[in-house]
């Protein structure tokens, strides 16, 4: 009898019911009226009185150890059961899909990174501007067509509250508050009153660059832009500067890069010229420096400005500017980048 009790105690100690249902099975097996312990008790009744003392003690201990175990397990199961009812805590988690950066952000970040390596810092200015910062300080003549409602969004018909048409306004803001040396780029949104088509939009993004110091020359501008083009489009790219006109630069130029699709042989993207126009640039007009109280006899500078949409179109072969604003995930997902 003592041997049986010992074996049962060991079995009970080792049993490890996990759910409430298993615990109930455990209780029925040992404690219920027909359970194993109850059977031992009925066997006990028929025992010789001399042995009863020792066996009785062992049997009582077995029963109370079993009852203890049941109530302990029940308590802890009810606790965890409330919190995790119906949950499979071993199931793998749901993965949250990471989005990708918008292609315009990717290209803007690349541009900031490339000029950052050449010592350019980043500054920003307001999108709602006045005539001075967008036109007058930039040497636009009074009758310039950009000052017309046809080309510029004016707010509430007030000719002095308008949406900036280019990021050159930030040049003025920076030069007004800083004396040279100035070496910075200005990324931002710009607005033009244009019909929306595959090639143009009324809202787009530009990055402007400005370097003003003593002895800054056109050669410095060309070298900086060559480095930029090679970093963005690859070592093999060539650049070409064509004379152009902007009120705020003299001399002015437009820069082309050799076509990224055909490498200069001629294709539909470059309209069989082998070249793609990418930015406007030039030496800062002395009138602009003077408008910002910078001594134009002591300092010279260069400036350049490019459209981010256009640059991204050339870089990725995107044919329709509207794709950037529709935010169709099937389009956006195609641009994966570390920056
Ligand atoms: N602001 C000009 C534009 O919007 C670009 C430019 C910037 C040209 C700086 C020369 C120098 O087209």
The domain spans of the chain are: 2-78, 103-335
pLDDT tens-digit readout, 120-147: 999 999 999 999 999 999 999 988 887 8
Look up the pTM and report it: 0.73
- E-strand stretches of the chain: 121-122, 128-129, 154-155, 158-163, 182-191, 203-213, 239-246, 249-258, 275-284, 300-307
Give me ligand 1 centre to Cα 205, in Å.
Answer: 12
Higher pLDDT, 130 or 88: 130
Give me ligand 1 centre to Cα 198, in Å.
Answer: 21
DSSP string, 160-176: EEEE-SSTHHHHHHHHH
Q: What is the DSSP letter of 88?
A: -
Chosen CATH of 103-335 out of 3.30.930.10, 3.20.20.140, 3.40.50.2300, 3.30.590.10: 3.30.930.10
d(CA 114, CA 224): 10
Ligand 1 contact via 281 beta carbon (within 6 Å): yes
pLDDT tens-digit readout, 73-83: 888 887 765 56
Q: How many CB atoms lie within 10 A of CB 79?
A: 10
Over residues 60-88, mean pLDDT: 80
Ligand 1 contact via 282 beta carbon (within 6 Å): yes
Over residues 12-32, mean pLDDT: 88
pLDDT tens-digit readout, 150-165: 789 999 778 899 999 9
DSSP string, 218-263: HHHHHHHHHHHHHHHH-TT--EEEEEEEETTEEEEEEEEEE-TTTT
Q: Which helix (H) or strand (E) holds 286?
A: helix 286-291
């Amino acid at each position: 009898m003592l041997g049986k009790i010992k074996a049962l105690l060991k079995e009970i100690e080792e049993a490890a019911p996990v759910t409430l249902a298993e615990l109930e099975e455990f209780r029925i097996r040992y404690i219920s009226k027909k359970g194993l312990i109850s059977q031992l008790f009925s066997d006990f009744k028929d025992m010789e009185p001399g042995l009863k003392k020792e066996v009785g003690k062992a049997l009582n201990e077995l029963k109370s150890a079993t009852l203890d175990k049941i109530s302990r397990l029940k308590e802890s199961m009810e606790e965890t059961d409330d919190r995790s009812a119906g949950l499979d805590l071993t199931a793998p988690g749901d993965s949250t899909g990471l989005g990708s950066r918008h292609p315009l952000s990717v290209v803007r970040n690349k541009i900031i990174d490339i000029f950052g390596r050449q010592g350019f810092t980043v500054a920003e200015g307001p999108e709602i501007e006045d005539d001075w910062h967008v036109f007058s300080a930039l040497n636009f003549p009074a009758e310039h067509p950009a000052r017309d409602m046809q080309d510029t969004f004016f707010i509430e018909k007030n000719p002095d509250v308008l949406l900036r048409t280019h990021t050159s306004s930030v040049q003025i803001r920076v030069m007004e508050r800083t004396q040279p040396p100035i070496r910075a780029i200005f990324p931002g949104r710009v607005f033009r009153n244009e019909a929306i088509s595959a090639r143009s939009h009324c809202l787009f993004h530009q990055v402007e660059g400005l370097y003003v110091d003593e002895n800054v020359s056109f050669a410095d501008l060309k070298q900086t832009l060559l480095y930029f083009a090679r970093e963005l489009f690859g070592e093999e790219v060539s650049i070409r500067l064509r004379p152009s006109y902007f009120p705020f630069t003299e001399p002015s130029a437009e820069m082309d890069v050799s076509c990224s699709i055909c490498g200069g042989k001629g294709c539909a993207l470059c309209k069989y010229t082998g070249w793609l126009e990418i930015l406007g640039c030039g030496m800062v007009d002395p009138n602009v420096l003077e408008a910002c109280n910078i001594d134009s006899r002591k300092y010279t500078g260069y400036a350049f400005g490019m459209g981010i949409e256009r640059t991204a179109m050339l870089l990725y072969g995107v044919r329709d500017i509207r794709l950037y604003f529709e935010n169709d995930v099937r389009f956006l997902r195609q641009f994966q980048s570390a920056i």
